[in-house]
Structure 1
Amino acid sequence: RHNTRNNQPTPSPSPPPSPPHQQASNPAGAHLNIVLQFRQLTPPTFTRVEGPKAVAEWIRQLEQNFDLLQCADAQKVI
Structure 2
Amino acid sequence: MKLLVRNLSRATTEQDLRTLFAAHGKVTTCNLVLDKETGLSKGFAFVEMPNDIESRGAIKALNQTSVDKSKIRVKYADE
TM-score, normalisation: structure 1:
0.29
Q: Tell which has more relative contact order, 1 or 2 (C-alpha 8 A, sep 6+).
A: 2
Radius of gyration: which is bigger?
1
TM-score, normalisation: structure 2:
0.29
Identify, as 1 or 2, the structure richer in strand.
2
Identify, as 1 or 2, the structure richer in helix.
1
